[in-house]
Structure 1
Amino acid sequence: MKKILAFLLVLVLSFSILTACAPKDAPGDQAAEEPGKLPTAGMGTITKLGLGHVISIEKSRDKTEDKSAKAQADITIMAVGFDMDGKVVSAELDVAEASVEFDENMAVVTHTAGEFKTKKELGVDYGLIKTSVIGKEWFEQAQALEEWMVGKTVDEITGMKIEDGKTAEEDLVSSVTVGVEVYLEALKQAWEEAIDVENAVTVGLGVKTSIASSKSAEADKGALAQVETVIAATAFDADEKVAGTVIDTAEVKIKYDLEGKVETDKTAEIKTKNELGDDYGLSKVSSIEKNWFEQARALGDWMVGKTVDEITSLKLEDGKATDEDLVSSVTIGIADYLYVVEKSAQTAK
């Protein structure tokens, strides 16, 4: 009997030793059992979404004996996704370049209906390749710059070597010869004003530009070129649902006097509706007493967790939302905002 008990004790001890020595599951093995689980915040995971821009009207010109007046607004835009270390995970760069031309009587001659294409949307039709020393179109150079930014912090990117406004970085000079300073400025703003997002894996940019509100000169009133650019920087999760979005509008007005000279200060800062904040003044006439930036933010919050199809299927009356969840916080027309969010899904990466 004692021999049997001793034998059993040896078996139990042997089993215990083998169990203790067996390797434990590695963290990677455990994660592999959950293929549908989204990664937690870490390297390469988008935790912040930023929208940056730079607005310029410096290329606008007066009417002269030799040339007619021409107003031009250049809106440089960047939508950027950052990880928890502040490194760029995804970047989308574009420029809305819209001009309004006038005849000798300061009447608008540019077709005002429809939508102006951005530089990226123009693609090969933009025409930079004809004069490019590296034989690359604008959109190709923009994409090369975006790719170079990935994995770097804003400080690392803005600290790039620059000569005469162009990059002097060895790994960029063969693919980017356009001036880059304005793009770096937009990137910096995107970082400074970034919002927090969760479970985001891609970021896209949507833009719509119109000059429909531009006006010809009248007997006692000078001409007006008005360029309205609606923008959305949107982050999406793995299920293509909105993880966060920043909506803004650049309403650029270039006024002319009766002589055809630009009255608007071409060097003054032009702020977007978000940047104007309370100074935009919508709350004074709003039935819900909310300013534009507050309503745009509420609309963006409502979009989180929804697909683009769910967002664009929102019922509208006269361009305004009728949804019970929105009518108490958003009374402005939103058709264009839904449109640019939809466009941002098409460029998401």
Structure 2
Amino acid sequence: MKKILLFFLVALLLIAPLSACRKEPTPSPSPSPTGGASPSPSPSAPSGGGEGGEMKMGLGIVASVAKSKNAGEADGAAQTDMTIAAVVLDKDGKIVKCVIDAVSAAIAFNKNGELVTPPSTEFKSKDELADEYGMKKASSIGKEWYEQAQAFASYVEGKTIAEVKDIKVDEQNYPTGADLKSSVTVSVGAFMQAIEKAASSAQDAPEGLSEGDALRLGIVTDMSKSASATAEKDGTAQLTVTVAATTQNSGGVITGNIIDSCITTVAFTKSGTITTDLSTEFKSKNEMGEGYGMKKASAIGKEWNEQAKAFSEYVVGKTLSEVKGISVSEGGTPQSEDLKSEVTISIGDFIKAIEKSAVGG
């Protein structure tokens, strides 16, 4: 009998530690009652887990006229080089979507201060030009500009802005890392600046935006306000670039939109000499905010950036065909009561830019 009792005591002593060490199953996190962010997927997990409200969307523009030159025996040129980047960030600040494009526009004038480039000229972006841009033949890796821009955009996806700023480049901003320079040999300095601007200005994305939505850019240029020089007044080469960054879901519905615009101006004399400081840094209208100075003259007391944002919010939830159907006056101002109470500026180029950045009817 004593042997049987001893056997049971030993058995109990062996079983007890096993029970104490058994791991309880970890409960799945319950949804936040306020719609807060759920844990983001690991980099190797398929995208599509993020939703608007826990994500941010931003647009950045970098503009330079440094390559402009005076007229002489050859025509002068007011050259604008503008690089644009749009990003979608997850709740941890990682880039989940990135697109990059650029405009290189040279407005020619002669030694008599006369415009040579017709004011009606519209410049295509480098992405629109595609193979017409003509970089592939001279490229050491046989890649066109748009292919290299796409490769860089893909490279930064999954990175934070701190990691993007840490990308290794040489003194002329050409990539030096073996993992990048095999697909990108163009200077990436302006790419990085535009991405940094896009991320630093990023705002909460609409609730309907998802990581799986497509992100595109649309760019519209206008130089119609350019003018030749006279004896009394310098000539002006003015380029207005309107940009739309748009996300769409698989059904073609716009889930996110940002609109911005940047104006570059180069003045020149009757003898074709440039008078503008070519090191000038041009800010976009969104960057200028109230510094743009529209609010005082606005019938609704709203600054340009406020009206652009109101229009962006208005088009979210619409398809491209619905955006194209927005009623405007001959001057391009909105006609519908629900919109003109918030937006009184011309939206013609806004709509054109969205058309370029979206797909559908």
Q: What is the TM-score of this pair, normalised by structure 2?
A: 0.81
Q: Is the 8 A contact 1:204 1:346 kept in 2?
A: no
Q: Is the 8 A contact 1:41 1:83 kept in 2?
A: no
Give CA-to-partner distance per residue, 1:58-116, whole Å, 9 cap, x none: 0011123x432110011100011112222222111010111110123121111332421
For 1:132, the aligned partner's letter is: S
Secondary structure (helix, strand or coil) at the match of 1:252 reads: strand
User: Does residue 49 in structure 1 map to residue 47 in structure 2?
Assistant: no
**Structure 2 CA distance for partners of 1:235 and 1:42, relative to 1, 3 Å:** farther
Please give the alpha-carbon distance, in whole angstroms, between the structure 2 residues aligned to 1:63 and 1:115.
22
Secondary structure (helix, strand or coil) at the match of 1:325 reads: helix
Please give the alpha-carbon distance, in whole angstroms, between the structure 2 residues aligned to 1:340 and 1:62.
32
Which residue number in structure 2 is paired with residue 338 of structure 1?
Answer: 351
Secondary structure (helix, strand or coil) at the match of 2:147 reads: helix
Which residue number in structure 2 is paired with residue 8 of structure 1?
Answer: none
Give CA-to-partner distance per residue, 1:121-168, whole Å, 9 cap, x none: 111111112221111111111111111112121211221111231111
Q: Which of 307, 311, 317 is the aligned partner of 1:305?
A: 317
* Deviation of 1:346 (Å): 4.0
Q: Is the 8 A contact 2:74 2:110 kept in 1?
A: no
Please give the alpha-carbon distance, in whole angstroms, between the structure 2 residues aligned to 1:114 and 1:345.
23
Secondary structure (helix, strand or coil) at the match of 1:320 reads: coil
Which residue number in structure 2 is paired with residue 170 of structure 1?
Answer: 178
Secondary structure (helix, strand or coil) at the match of 1:120 reads: helix
Give CA-to-partner distance per residue, 1:298-324, whole Å, 9 cap, x none: 111111222222122111112111112
Q: Is the 8 A contact 2:100 2:149 kept in 1?
A: yes
Q: Is the 8 A contact 1:81 1:235 kept in 2?
A: no
* Deviation of 1:341 (Å): 1.3
Which residue number in structure 1 is paired with residue 119 of structure 2?
Answer: 112
Q: Is the 8 A contact 1:49 1:234 kept in 2?
A: no
Which residue number in structure 2 is paired with residue 138 of structure 1?
Answer: 145
Secondary structure (helix, strand or coil) at the match of 2:79 reads: strand
**Structure 2 CA distance for partners of 1:41 and 1:79, relative to 1, 3 Å:** farther
User: Does residue 233 in structure 1 map to residue 245 in structure 2?
Assistant: yes
Which residue number in structure 1 is paired with residue 90 of structure 2?
Answer: 83
**Structure 2 CA distance for partners of 1:190 and 1:279, relative to 1, 3 Å:** same
Which residue number in structure 2 is paired with residue 294 of structure 1?
Answer: 306
Which residue number in structure 2 is paired with residue 30 of structure 1?
Answer: none
Q: Is the 8 A contact 2:320 2:359 kept in 1?
A: no
Q: How does 1:4-15 map to 2 (within 5 A)?
A: none
Secondary structure (helix, strand or coil) at the match of 1:229 reads: strand
**Structure 2 CA distance for partners of 1:341 and 1:106, relative to 1, 3 Å:** same
Q: Is the 8 A contact 1:61 1:69 kept in 2?
A: yes
